[in-house]
Every structure is written in C-alpha cells, then in structure tokens.
Amino acid sequence: MFNKLGKFKYRALMLIAAIGLTGAWQSAVAHTRLKTPIIQENAAEFGSDYNAVVIAHGCRNPATNAMDVNTIGSVMVFPDGKDSIITVDGQPHSGPLTDFVTNWGNPVTKIQDRSIFDYENYIKDSLGNKLGFWTGGGKGLTGGFRAVVPFATAGVVIEPTSCAKSVTFVLGIADVCQVTNPAGFSDETVLLWTPAVGSIYDGVGLDGYNSPATLQVMRSVAPLPASCGTGVDVVVKPSANQLNRDLRINFGGNQIWPAE
C-alpha cells in the first residue's frame, strides 16, 4: 500500500517535472534543428545515420504574434566542403576540408516521406553529389504542430593524422510559409536557420538570425596523435556563394522558392 502510494507520488512528480521542462524548452530554444545533432565518426559503417530535420514551429502570425502559421515547405543544405568556411578552435583555417575529413562529398540520402509534404527532391552539386533536399507542397505542416522530416547521413571519417576531436557541419535551412522573393523575407513568410555568412538568406533581425542547425561528428575511430594534446574542434560552414546557389527549391525545371 505505502509502496504503491510512493510510486504514484514519484510518477506524478516526474510527470510535473517533465511538463515543466517541456514548457521551458519550448519557449527558450524551439528552433528548427536536427533530431540527432551529435553523432559518432563513421557510424554509417553499421548502416546509415538516421536523422531528421525537426521543424519546431511555423512563421509569425501578425495578428497574434504566435509562431503558428502553416509551413508549406522546407529546404536544407550541408556545406559542400569546397569553398566552405572552416575554423579550428574558432580560428580561421585556410587549408581544405580534407585536412580534417577524408570523405566529405555526398552527405545526404533523403528518406522518402509524404506524410507532411507531397513532394521532395535532392539539392545536388554539379557532380551529382547530394548536399541536401527540399520538401514541400501538399497539406503541409499545420501551425502548432512539429514536423520530423527524415533523412540519413553518410559516414564521416575524420583524417586520422589530424588533431580534430570533432567536426561540426553547419547547415542552412529555410522553412517557408509564404513564397516571396528575398526582399519579402520576414518572420511572417519564412524562417531562416542559416549561418550569417553574407548570403541573401542571412535574415538580419529575424527569428532564426545566425542560429543554424548543426551536425557534430565526434572523433571515435583513430585515436588522437600524441602531439595533439587534447585536440581541436573544427567547424565547417557553407559559404555565401554556396547558400545563394543551393538553398532554393527547383521543381519541374522552375525555381519556385524564393520567387525571382
């Protein structure tokens, strides 16, 4: 009897704690992020790394100020690793990404899913490498709900002779609520989760300004060379050139977002 009551009280407390936590989390950091933002190096050797873009809220409703306007599409790209912006412990690195990652090039496989949006396709570089995807159309994401948009990443191999203890890839993501040209970007039309690198998608002053989603790959295969000490953290951002070129939705040979 006492034991049962104790269990019940414990469960009630845990429930209250969980609700409290959820409330705080929603108001503080409910942004578009990856479902699993930290993965191990080359985990894909055991299959793929299954992940997802989590769209946490819609655009701003001008009447109520709530972030609950329906989302009609989303587009995401990883840095291409060619003209990307690389830092090492926060300091600019002028060498290539191959100094730290041996196999970057074709990071994304979309997991087919029409549960929210009816259409989806890859964003590829000129060699056909899949750098990201867009999805949109159909009924879309109703305001007040979240979307889990599934994809997988290829295994990332950290250069064994490098001192990288982690490599973080910074994504560019746009959640579209209304199709406009770049001059029409606002919290009411689009949420831009991009690094502020000077692209047309910076979104200065908007909800997602310089608050991008990231995928951090932790070194876990080759041990750090002894000369590395505790190792360094590498960050890879897409260039403004790449975002301007790749973060768009083309459908049937036409660009449908942003409007031109």
Which residues in this chain contact Cu ion in the complex, by CB under 5 A? 31
Residues forming a β-bridge with 232: 164
Nearer CB in complex with Cu ion: 31/248? 31
When the beta carbons of 31 and 110 are compared against Cu ion, the nearer one is: 31
Tokens (6 digits) for 218? 């932790």
Hey, how many other C-beta atoms are within 10 angstroms of the C-beta on 90? 8
**In angstroms, what is the minimal distance from the CB of 65 to Cu ion?**
13
At closest approach, how far in Å is the CB of 208 from Cu ion? 7
Taking the complex as a whole, the smallest distance from the CB of residue 185 to Cu ion amounts, in Å, to 15
For the bound state, the minimum distance from the C-beta of residue 166 to Cu ion, rounded and expressed in Å, comes to 25
Nearer to Cu ion, 106 or 210 (CB): 210
Neighbours of 132 (CB within 10 A): 24
The pair of three-digit structure tokens given for residue 71, joined into one six-digit string: 């989302």
Antiparallel, parallel or unpaired: β 130-141 and 33-34: unpaired
Q: Are 71 and 177 in contact (CB under 8 A)?
A: yes
When the beta carbons of 156 and 170 are compared against Cu ion, the nearer one is 170
Residues whose CB is less than 8 angstroms from the CB of residue 13 and which lie 6 or more positions away in sequence, other chains included: none
